[in-house]
Chain A
Amino acid sequence: MADGAGRGERGMRRVKGWLIDWVLVTLFLLMVDFLWLAFSGRRGPTGLLLSPEEILDLLHYLPLLAVSAALAGLWQAAAGILGESPGWALTRPLDEAPSPVLWTSTLRGWFVALLIELTVFTGWLVTEVQLVTFLTQFNKAADIVRGLVNPSSAVLHQGLILLVQTIFLAFMATAFAIPVAFVLSFFAARNLTRGSALARSLYNLVRAAMNFTRAVEPLVWALIFISWVGIGPFAGVLALWVHSVAALVKLYSEQIESIDHGPVEAIMATGASTLQVMRYGVVPQVIPPFLSFTIYRWDINVRMSTIIGFVGGGGIGYILKPRVDLGLWGEVGTLVLLIAATVWCMDILSAKIRERIV
């Protein structure tokens, strides 16, 4: 029985290890392929050297996937000669000690070292790093710096007014997010949703919805809400609100999952109803961390609200974007300084509040 379970686990580890090796060897070969094409001097249809995008298009994905699948299998099979594969090492059970061998004396060590170097080289080309331009062309950006040190007062009045809007935008998004996230987090906590099939499916539903919502960035949400309620601060409030709810539900529910279950049991034992058990057994334990998470989220929302206007979500970013496009650096400087001062003040404020309550 125990032996069978042991064999099953070992089989699972083989499969997982092989999958990891497959992915790693594939990445390795693809990057070799990439660098080969990049330095082969091949020219594209336009007669110019291949661009990184064109190379990515030309890589031999399918053949390399097949080759690496075989290589990964080979590595597992010949582990006696080649040493542990990376996948086998990564799936090692936590209680098993790793072998005390220097990385330079294993194939795995060299493989990983080369993989990292290949990634840096490939990344350099894919992201089109141009060190020389970066180091020699600073004078073009000097205008911006000049603007920052000589801020223009032309936009100060309007900037200050929109700054008020920016802060309120962050505030409304945070304030509206708290009650919604509070309620949802109870449904997103595994330890409270084991009771019935309905509770379990609600858990999965809320989790999935929140994971999706959080994965979409606030700027994208802003674009969605702009087409819904039109350009302006309300779209920004909605965008930050939606994202804050999802982020807070994650933080809140993890906190609920880590509570001490003792008081919950004790309150249940008195014959209290579910709501009473939540109110007495759960809520008192999570209030301080919830406050701390909420302040943290408020910090993030202040930052986000200053740029949500770039896409039309209201706030100071709304007048910053056109001035960057027009190269009005003096006015840009004023606005950037206003933003920096606001974020700085709010940071200090929330750090002080957090000190008090936690």
Chain B
Amino acid sequence: MNGAAAARDEVVRIEGLGKVFPNGVRALDAVDLSVRRGEFLVVIGLSGSGKSTLLRCINRLIDPSEGRIWLFGEEMTALQGAELRAMRTRVGMIFQQFNLVKRHSVLANVLSGALGRASLLPSLLLRFPEADRQVALAALERVGLGGRDASRADALSGGQQQRVAIARALLQEPELILADEPVASLDPALRHSVMRHIEALNREEGMTVICTLHDVDLIRRYATRLVALRDGKVVHEGDPEKFDGETFKAIYGEEAEPTPGLVG
């Protein structure tokens, strides 16, 4: 009974995950990881340690070389075609560079989050059902961008663009959010304004979040659990409250110093 309940609670399960790129670089090595519903898991590690690769393996933007991944109890690594795409609609993704369609309107960008359930022909003509439009406008309202729906995406500031990207993910009504350095391209003063929206999705909507971050204060403030990668391996797993100089050196190596604010 208990085991079944735990399994239902497990959003992501990763076993023996490995990735070797065609150029021979090994980015992930025997990664095991389990993420429960409602967690705000932060992944840290030096640049090049494999954080982005790990996140992209989870929604199969990158195909792993070894190991298996389960999402919501289904084996993600076994899915193909339409089944794979259906599973992706349940996982929202947020990127360091926002990755909006620059020449499209803010509203069109948000609506692209509904592509997975849209009918093909209208969507190719940038047409969406009125219901989706209403949801999109509400999502924009929610991230504080009500009234900006007609602007071109690249007319917005970085922080605003990232909030559009969050609204786009919202339109998927995802159960899991993957955020790859969501605030690394933003002015430090704006980081909380974006992180708070991701936190709200986690706290209020019960969405599970896996997020890569660099700032110690952001990690302490938002993470419920911490995982550290080094050379593609998990080298530390623990409580962000206890994230101190000792663990820092264990993760980043002896030469590294925790500068105030920044890690890596």
Contact = CB atoms under 8 A, between A and B. Distances in A.
Interface of A: 262-263, 265-273, 275-276, 279-281, 284-285, 287
A268 B88 contact: yes
Please name the 10 residue pairs, one residue from A and one from B, whose CB atoms are nearest each other, closest first: A271-B116, A271-B89, A262-B99, A266-B99, A271-B88, A272-B115, A269-B93, A271-B85, A284-B103, A276-B115
B78 interface: no
Given A263-B101, A265-B95, A270 B120 contact: no
A276 B102 contact: no
A266 B93 contact: yes
Contacts of A284: 101-104
A44 B178 CA distance: 82
Interface string B93-137: 101011111111000000011111110100110000000000000
Given A265-B93, A266-B165, A273-B85, 12 more contacts: A262-B98, A265-B61, A266-B99, A266-B168, A267-B115, A270-B92, A270-B116, A270-B172, A271-B117, A272-B112, A275-B120, A275-B124
B7 interface: no
B167 interface: no
B59 interface: yes
Given A267-B112, A284-B102, A262 B120 contact: no
A268 to B, nearest CB: 6
A266 B101 CA distance: 9
A271 B123 CA distance: 13
A193 to B, nearest CB: 15
Contacts of B56: 265
A285 B103 CA distance: 8
A262 B185 CA distance: 14
Interface of B: 56, 59, 61, 85-89, 91-93, 95, 97-104, 112-118, 120, 123-124, 165, 168, 172, 178
Nearest to B82: A273
Given A270-B172, A284-B102, A276 B97 contact: no
Given A266-B165, A270-B115, A271-B89, A276 B120 contact: yes
Contacts of A280: 101, 104, 112, 115
Nearest to A271: B116
A285 B102 CA distance: 8
Main secondary structure of the interface of A (DSSP, over half): helix
B234 to A, nearest CB: 23
Given A270-B88, A271-B89, A262 B113 contact: no
Nearest to A273: B85
B6 to A, nearest CB: 27
Contacts of B118: 276
A140 to B, nearest CB: 58
7 contacts: A262-B99, A263-B100, A265-B61, A267-B101, A271-B87, A273-B115, A280-B112
Contacts of B116: 270-272
Given A275-B124, A276-B124, A269 B61 contact: yes
A263 B98 CA distance: 8
A280 to B, nearest CB: 5
A266 B119 CA distance: 19
B110 to A, nearest CB: 11
Contacts of A270: 88-89, 92, 112-116, 168, 172
A268 B88 CA distance: 8
Q: Which of B92, B101, B168, B172 has the most CB of A within 10 A?
A: B101
Nearest to A266: B99
A190 to B, nearest CB: 13
Contact of A265 (B86, B99, B115): B99
A159 B13 CA distance: 77
A269 B101 contact: no
Contact of B115 (A271, A285, A287): A271
Nearest to A264: B99
A273 B61 contact: no
A280 B102 CA distance: 10
Nearest to A288: B103
Nearest to B89: A271
Nearest to B87: A271
B169 to A, nearest CB: 8
Contact of A269 (B88, B102, B103, B114): B88
Contacts of B112: 267, 270, 272, 280
Contacts of B97: 262
Contacts of A271: 85-89, 115-117, 172
A220 to B, nearest CB: 38
Q: Which of A263, A266, A275, A281 has the most CB of B within 10 A?
A: A266
Nearest to B171: A270
A262 B153 CA distance: 14
A279 B85 CA distance: 16
